[in-house]
Amino acid sequence: MTASLRLGIAGLGTVGIGVVKIVRQQATLLSARTGTQITISAVSARTKGKDRGVSLAGYDWEDDPVKLATRDDLDVYVELMGGTDGPAKASVEAALKAGKDVVTANKAMLAVHGQALAELAEEHGRVIRYEAAVAGGIPVIKALTEGLAGNEITRVMGVMNGTCNYILTRMEKAGLTYEEAFAEADGLGYVEADPTLDVGGIDAGHKLAILSAIAFGTKPDFDGIELEGITRVSIEDIRAAADMEYRIKLLGVAQRTGRGLEQRMQPCLVPANSPLGQLEGGTNMVVIEGHAVEQIVLRGPGAGEGPTASAVMGDVCDIARGFRLPVFGQPATTLEAAKSARSELPAPYYLRMTLLDKPGALAKIAAILGNSGISIDRMRQYGHDDTNAPVLIVTHKTSRAALDEALAAMGQTDVVMAPPVALRIEHV
Ligand code: NAP
Ligand code: HSE
């Protein structure tokens, strides 16, 4: 007799409906691969009558996700509603306490409550699987927890938000406005229910916090991330960066420094011809460096119905096969508290500023940079009007402290018309 694995799915939006479709359409393949009949017992969402483009006939309906999570006819609770707290967290806790394994795509909940949930799961002998939570269809959680388990991880970095990458590339390549590019990303199912999570860098920060925990054996530390989104990235910067053969990406980096764990998610320039620079649309890329493996690069669709449902189903199949491992790759009680450290490694920077077009203006800026020990690598001055001269500078490597000192000094002059834009340049 074939074994069975009964799912309860809360959340029937982009991801949830993608999962229902795979369970319905790939039943034979799933059964052949896992030796288990994977079925859906019951579902839940906010609005019962909504046309979701797929038949839900045969599944019980529960208005309350907590009630769904604790049903007797369920083996795995699949949480696909989203939200850091609220029904997502309440229902996951209820499921674990009721002896159910959990699969979720909810990075916000895991980045903030991951430690407590992992401890709860272990206390009840259950697993929480969340491949879809980071980088959509890319199996990066599996890569870190399984394939790279023998490595001391030295650095994790990458582009992990499809919405931001989509917006930035469509603005540059298709000349769309921010609003037009955002609307396209939304239509593709990339955007979070609260879009500020995407464009504010918070969603990508949640993902970085999860990867850091696995990579460095630390409790997820979302608050320790130096975080900035793409809302201040202007079309002028996108074009100017392209003109200097760079692209702007919302880039995350996590690494141990001598002082602690450095985690940052911020818009950076990367060389246009590099793998990160070539990354377009909703595609994500995660670069992992380990002492033995050296460097691996994972690339794939980071958002949307199919890729995300693919990741959820990978987790479901693992549970069906009886594969179990601790939430962050080692017992939750052995994870250390992260000690956050700001980046002190020098890097080159891109500066864009508007100078008053008068004799000596540029000399003042060059002197300020020189006084802070910052050397200019490249510089361009663009077509200026009667009074203003737009200037781009790429520096040699410098510390952020030296740059901040120079930026403060520039603000004291009578030639810099507005606070300059300063973006870090990363080479992978
Ligand atoms: P979505 O399209 O907005 O769908 C959310 C679903 O949850 C809807 O079906 C909604 O019901 C239901 N829901 C919301 N609040 C509820 C509540 N209080 N009680 C019951 N049901 C509730 O979201 P999504 O894009 O599928 O994302 C779901 C999760 O996956 C989130 O954690 C998200 O961060 C994560 N994720 C998404 C993607 C992606 O590409 N979209 C990728 C990776 C991870 P109604 O339909 O009735 O409104
Ligand atoms: N809103 C997220 C993104 C979905 O744009 O990447 C995938 O996690």
User: Residues lining ligand 1, judged by CB closer than 6 Å?
Assistant: 10-16, 44-47, 50, 65, 80-82, 87, 105-107, 132-133, 136, 189-190, 192-193, 303-304, 308
Distance 191 CA to ligand 2 centre (A): 6
Last residue of a domain, one of 68, 98, 133: 133
Residues 426 and 428: their CA atoms lie apart, in Å, by 6
166 three-class SS: helix
Residue 211 in any domain: the answer is yes
Packing angle, helices 27-34 and 305-320, rounded to 10: 40
Query: Which atom of ligand 1 lies closest to the CA of 46?
Result: 47
Residue 58 in any domain: the answer is yes
Residue 119 and residue 199 in one domain:
no
Residues 245 and 401: their CA atoms lie apart, in Å, by 26
Residue 292 in any domain: the answer is yes
Residue 114 and residue 162 in one domain:
no
Cβ pair 56, 42 in contact under 8 A: no
Query: Token match 């979720």: residue?
Result: 104
Q: Is the CB of 131 under 6 A from ligand 2?
A: no
- Best CA proximity match to 136, nearest among 179, 218, 77, 198: 198
Q: Is the CB of 426 under 6 A from ligand 2?
A: no
User: What's at 97, amino acid-wise?
Assistant: K
Alpha helices in 159-273 (DSSP H): 162-174, 178-187, 196-199, 202-216, 235-243
381 three-class SS: strand
Residue 215 and residue 271 in one domain:
yes
Residue 260 and residue 381 in one domain:
no
User: What's at 400, amino acid-wise?
Assistant: R
Q: Is the CB of 205 under 6 A from ligand 2?
A: no
Residue 392 is part of which domain span? Answer: 349-425
Q: Which of 89, 100, 107, 207 is catalytic?
A: 207
Distance 76 CA to ligand 2 centre (A): 24
Distance 412 CA to ligand 1 centre (A): 48
Last residue of a domain, one of 98, 133, 168: 133
Q: Give the number of other CB atoms < 10 A from CB of residue 293.
A: 14
**428 residues of the chain, pLDDT tens digit each:** 569 999 999 999 999 999 999 999 999 999 999 999 999 999 999 999 999 999 999 999 999 999 999 999 999 999 999 999 999 999 999 999 999 999 999 999 999 999 999 999 999 999 999 999 999 999 999 999 999 999 999 999 999 999 999 999 999 999 999 999 999 999 999 999 999 999 999 999 999 999 999 999 999 999 999 999 999 999 999 999 999 999 999 999 999 988 899 999 999 999 999 999 999 999 999 999 999 999 999 999 999 999 999 999 999 999 999 999 999 999 999 999 999 888 778 999 999 999 998 899 999 999 999 999 999 999 998 777 778 889 999 999 999 999 999 999 999 999 999 899 999 999 88
Residue 311 in any domain: the answer is no
Query: Which atom of ligand 2 lies closest to the CA of 190?
Result: 5
Residues 128 and 15: their CA atoms lie apart, in Å, by 17
CA distance to 114, 303, 418, per residue, from 130 (Å): 11, 14, 44
How many domains is the chain partitioned into structurally?
3
Residue 159 and residue 116 in one domain:
no
The ligand placed nearest to the CA atom of residue 81 is 1
Residue 186 and residue 97 in one domain:
no
Distance 255 CA to ligand 1 centre (A): 31
Distance 29 CA to ligand 1 centre (A): 26
The pLDDT value recorded for residue 200 is 97
Return the best residue to mutate from 22, 44, 46, 141 for the ligand 1 pocket (most ligand atoms within 8 A of CB). 46
Q: Is the CB of 136 under 6 A from ligand 2?
A: yes
Residue 360 belongs to domain with CATH number? 3.30.70.260
Residue 272 in any domain: the answer is yes
Residue 233 and residue 191 in one domain:
yes
Residue 356 in any domain: the answer is yes
Residue 206 and residue 264 in one domain:
yes
Q: Is the CB of 201 under 6 A from ligand 2?
A: no
The ligand placed nearest to the CA atom of residue 284 is 2
Distance 52 CA to ligand 1 centre (A): 13
Last residue of a domain, one of 236, 270, 300: 300
Q: Is the CB of 302 under 6 A from ligand 2?
A: yes
Residue 14 and residue 107 in one domain:
yes
Query: 80-110: per-residue pLDDT in tens?
Result: 999 999 999 999 999 999 999 999 999 999 9
Is 21 an active-site residue? no
Q: Indicate the pTM of the whole model.
A: 0.96
